[in-house]
Chain A
Amino acid sequence: METLLAMTLGCLVAAGVYLMLAGDLLRFLFGLTLISNAVNLAIFTSGRITVGGTPPLVPDGAYEPAGDVANALPQALILTAIVIGFGLFAFALVLTLKAYGLLGTIDIDKMRLSEAKPDEDKA
């Protein structure tokens, strides 16, 4: 199962990098999201899915799991990372929208306003 997840996240990163290199801000952000999901998956996998076939579940009525189970802490870390990632992605999307409205383009190569040479139009 871990091998399958490792391959999945490899595919996600590959697709993400492809999108990030497309030269378009929106695609860049989608690529970034794919990679951030891949990273979350990597953290999830680093805690192992199961150890000896046991997921990290506490039986009903007990206070601790019986025997060895997979580490559940990475799932808590991912939860934090997903929430933060969601907030950042939402911000970045709004920023993209705003940039399109104000600059009229989201082609990364054409977004030179803050680095314009003095003789270029800055207004």
Chain B
Amino acid sequence: MSWYLAMPLMTPVLTAVAAYLLRGSGIGRWVAVAGSALGLVFALMLMNQVIAAGVVTGQMSDWPAPFGITLIADLFSGIMVLLTAGVGLAVAVYACGEIDDDLEEMGFFAIFQLLLAGVTGAFLTGDLFNLYVWFEVLLISSFGLLILGGTRQQIDGAVKYVVLNLVSTIIFLCGLGLLYGATGTLNMADLRLAVDNSDQQGLVTVLSMFFLVAFAMKAAVFPLFFWLPASYHTPTSAVSAIFAGLLSKVGVYALFRTFTLIFDNDPAYTQPILYVAAALTMVTGILGALAQTDMRRVMSYQIVSSIGFLILGLAIGTPLALAGAIFYLVHNIIVKVNLFLVAGVATRLCGSSEMSRMGGVYKTAPLVALLFLVPAFTLAGFPPLTGFWAKVLLVQAALEAGNWGMVALVLIVSLLTIWSLMIVWARVFWAAHPEGLEPRTADLAPVRLHLLLPIAALGLASILIGLFPNGLIVLVQAAAAQLLDPQAYVDAVLGGAP
């Protein structure tokens, strides 16, 4: 069993080594792409295994849980690992077109693969302390990617990103230490039992707030999101895209995992907090997006807004709501990566990502404009694309919970999302360039295929999932059921013997 779990994790690590040692030889970047493709194959095999077996576990070094290091994949983890590998491959291909030899010499492709390893590890680990370690792996890699290139703007954004993530790390670590002091274990399945049997439920709830704050900070939940729009638009667009797709979602994953598996002891206390955070995240995110004038910053704020939808699913907490949230997660990862990649191409065409210095892309590069429209419509939630199904599930869950205010809020925020996308469309693609400059299509020509192929592939994925959503809906409902009844998860780790 442990091969299935180890390969999606170790493939990026070994690819990173190979890509670094072969950098500059001309084949290093292609080794990275091949490694990503291999990672996708392994992720598919893991997913297949998870669907067949329900929960796949493996104990590293054969130390039994809760003493050893547990790797575990249930449906939710499996979906996330598959998405990571998928968008990782897409961005790796894009990066082959965008990244120049200097950045490759500094190890861009190696650090990128290590980032994927960190994200995958965070999704697969069954131990809170290991979750901390994988967070650090992906954090250190993301620091590296963020400053590669070293422009003034990048360094300024990196300072904010680094500093706030360090604070969140310390809060997480503090919670870990105190939780260990209170329960004597850090294995997640074992923690569930320990928390259930604890006679200090109040203390556990207090401890859960450490995790809520730490993960919410990583997930960019209101009011702890300011680092995200300050930094995500500064690095190269391949880096922006992978950050936008995966990093804040790891925080969301950690919130989902801990608050369904471990800290579900006092929902009367935690859920109102999550509701308020979700609502304010949605609203401030989209208002921020409307106020921005830089294309990539508009999209950064849209990430914040979409995190609100995900937290809303967790706050409602019914099977349908969680299923909707996981569906939204799938949809959002694909779409956000796609939008940032298109933004990268548009920036390259216009020479700036400031919307007052962009324009006329539709006239000179209609294909790029078309490729922008697919994810834009998807994010806005037009039927029958994926965003529509995700929002249908979430709204239905909110209706069932009788939460009319939230339903109204979701619909209003969706409307504002469309507005913010229309602004981007109108200014960047439709209107002529304000200074009368022509977009430089000649710059695009040599790397056209590398840049546009992954965008087209991700767009196609959105469309296909949108046209045939049934399979995914069944899958996310099963994943939500597993989250809400973690007995199978606990049994798989501890072998059924508590």
Contact = CB atoms under 8 A, between A and B. Distances in A.
A87 B167 CA distance: 15
On chain A, which size bracket covers the interface? Answer: 35 or more
B163 A92 contact: yes
A9 B173 CA distance: 14
Contacts of B129: 77, 80
Given A77-B180, A88-B136, A114-B156, A42 B166 contact: no
Contacts of A80: 129, 133
Contact of B173 (A25, A28, A43, A98): A43
Contacts of B155: 95, 98-99, 102-103
Interface string A32-47: 1001100110110111
Given A91-B162, A92-B166, A118-B354, A43 B233 contact: no
B140 interface: yes
Contacts of B154: 114
Interface in A74-123: 74, 77, 80-81, 84, 87-88, 91-92, 95-96, 98-99, 102-103, 111-115, 118, 122
A88 B177 contact: no
A122 to B, nearest CB: 7
Contact of A81 (B173, B178, B293, B294): B173
Given A25-B159, A28-B163, A114-B230, A84 B133 contact: yes
A95 B178 contact: no
Contact of B294 (A32, A45, A91, A118): A118
B181 A45 contact: yes
Contact of A114 (B163, B181, B234, B354): B234
B147 A42 contact: no
A95 B147 contact: yes
A74 B174 CA distance: 12
A91 B143 contact: yes
Given A91-B140, A114-B233, A99 B173 contact: no
B147 A39 contact: no
B201 interface: no
Contacts of B231: 114
Interface string B283-309: 000000000011000000000000000
Given A39-B174, A118-B293, A88 B156 contact: no
Interface residues of B, number: 42
Given A46-B181, A95-B162, A99-B159, A36 B153 contact: no
Interface in B301-319: none
Interface string B155-178: 111111011001101100110111
Interface in A14-58: 25, 28-29, 32, 35-36, 39-40, 42-43, 45-47
Given A43-B177, A43-B180, A111-B159, A103 B152 contact: yes
A35 B176 contact: no
B181 A113 contact: no
A96 to B, nearest CB: 7
A45 B180 CA distance: 11
Given A32-B167, A43-B173, A103-B152, A95 B356 contact: no
Contacts of B354: 118, 122
B140 A87 contact: yes
B150 interface: yes
Nearest to A13: B174
B167 A88 contact: no
B126 to A, nearest CB: 16
A8 to B, nearest CB: 15
B351 to A, nearest CB: 13
A47 B176 CA distance: 12
Contact of B156 (A40, A84, A99): A99
Interface string B178-197: 10111010000000000000
A92 B129 CA distance: 23
B166 A113 contact: no
B358 to A, nearest CB: 12
A47 B186 CA distance: 13
Nearest to B144: A91
Given A32-B170, A35-B170, A45-B181, A88 B140 contact: yes
Given A98-B150, A118-B354, A84 B136 contact: yes
Interface of B: 129, 132-133, 136, 139-140, 143, 147, 150, 152-160, 162-163, 166-167, 169-170, 173-174, 176-178, 180-182, 184, 229-231, 233-234, 293-294, 354, 356
Pairs of residues from A and B, 10 with the lowest C-beta to C-beta distance, nearest first: A46-B181, A43-B177, A114-B157, A113-B156, A114-B156, A39-B174, A102-B152, A84-B136, A118-B293, A42-B177
29 contacts: A36-B170, A36-B173, A42-B174, A43-B177, A45-B181, A46-B178, A46-B180, A47-B180, A71-B184, A77-B129, A77-B177, A80-B133, A81-B132, A84-B133, A88-B136, A92-B162, A92-B166, A95-B147, A95-B162, A96-B159, A99-B159, A102-B150, A102-B155, A103-B152, A112-B156, A114-B154, A114-B231, A114-B234, A118-B356
Given A39-B173, A47-B181, A114-B153, 4 more contacts: A40-B177, A80-B133, A113-B156, A122-B153
